[in-house]
Copies of this chain bind each other. A is one copy, B any other.
Amino acid sequence: MAIPAEMKALLQTNDGYAAKPSGSVLEAMEPYVEPGVVAVPKPKPTQLLIKVSLASINPSDVMFVKGMYGQPRQKGQPAGFEGVGTVVATGDEPLARSFADKRVAFATGVTGWGSWAEYAVAEAPACIALIDTVRDEDGAAMIVNPLTALAMFGIVKDEGEKAFIVTAGASQLCKLIIALAKEEGFRPIAIVRRDDQIPLLKELGAAHVLNSEAADFRTSLKETVKAEQPRIFLDAMTGPLAAGIFHVMPKRSRWIIYGRLDPSTTPILEPGQLIFQQKVIEGFWLPVWMRQSPERREWAEMEAQKRFSDGRWTTDVTAVVPLSKAMSETPAALAKPNGKVFIKPD
């Protein structure tokens, strides 16, 4: 495939981190990215150059471009952590070369060449060669959510208790986790912020869905925790809400933080619980999980593809926005609930 010298991309307009946190909603694209034309990069020895078919927009992308994610922004570089596409050039290392010409799901990580562009760069270990039965929409959203869901539900299974708690319960990620849990007889307790999210999550398999904005939230949380004894808390929020949930959980509970949707201060309400109740506060990050065990990683990659191929999983698509219109159309598309927004190079 002929590779052009230049490409269109949505380029970051800021460096580093935001001076002030600003919430998790993308109110507009202009403060954070701008359309531009840059030279198509060359992959390093361990990397792949990918012609992007479809790029996804995850909550972590929004947090990143707003400067509130745990990685620094790079002005002038394309944004976008995830996508699907075709490998058009590879580095010289064997793993990278093994991906030549393949259709891959990819995560751009810290390469600096994101997926909101005609071409992206990913490290070979952050790519999955896709089987033909996986649609582009599913491949473009294969890594961040599905693999994280399999990984985090794996933590729940290893812990052994049937019940566990998730915040941001109506997210795509949590829906995947809840469905996995239902299949295996586990009892997810989902925390949401709107009553209209409750029926869908119950249908998917949540044992309890609690609205944190409800007047009786504290009481129902305590009763639910007492009845279900959840020990794993998969938390996308942090802040006082998450701290309060962890506080009422039983002995040996693990607060596993994977997102930072609430930028306000996160207190440890009673550090004595860490001492006398062996509670632990830790984090989850997919790249670390993937590095820890190649076997587990291969299993998860194949499991996700099987589930998308046979229809057990499917990505709800809210909108596919052309790259040329992404500046104007993305914020409104993201504001719609319950589905995923993609950017497609045109």
What residues of chain A have their CB less than 8 Å away from a CB belonging to chain B? 69-71, 238, 257-260, 265-268, 270-285, 288
Contacts of A276 in B (CB 8 A): 70-71, 283, 285
Given contacts A276-B283, A276-B285, A288-B278, contact A268 B271 (CB under 8 A): no
Q: Is the CB of B278 within 8 A of A285?
A: yes
Residue ID in chain B nearest A285 by CB atoms: B275
Q: Is the CB of B285 within 8 A of A282?
A: no
Q: Is the CB of A281 within 8 A of B268?
A: yes
Given contacts A70-B273, A265-B267, contact A283 B278 (CB under 8 A): yes
State the Cβ distance, A179 to closest chain B Cβ, in Å: 24
Q: Is the CB of B268 within 8 A of A274?
A: no
Residue ID in chain B nearest A265 by CB atoms: B267
Q: Is the CB of A283 within 8 A of B271?
A: yes
In the assembled complex, the Cα of A150 lies from the Cα of B227 at a distance in Å of: 39
Contact among B238, B272, B279 for A69, CB-based, below 8 A: B272
In the assembled complex, the Cα of A238 lies from the Cα of B275 at a distance in Å of: 11
Q: Is the CB of B272 within 8 A of A260?
A: yes
In the assembled complex, the Cα of A95 lies from the Cα of B267 at a distance in Å of: 43
25 A-B contacts, Cβ less than 8 Å apart?
A: A70-B272, A70-B273, A70-B275, A70-B276, A258-B275, A260-B271, A260-B272, A265-B267, A266-B267, A266-B268, A267-B267, A268-B268, A271-B283, A273-B283, A274-B282, A275-B284, A275-B285, A276-B283, A277-B283, A278-B285, A279-B283, A280-B280, A280-B281, A280-B283, A281-B281
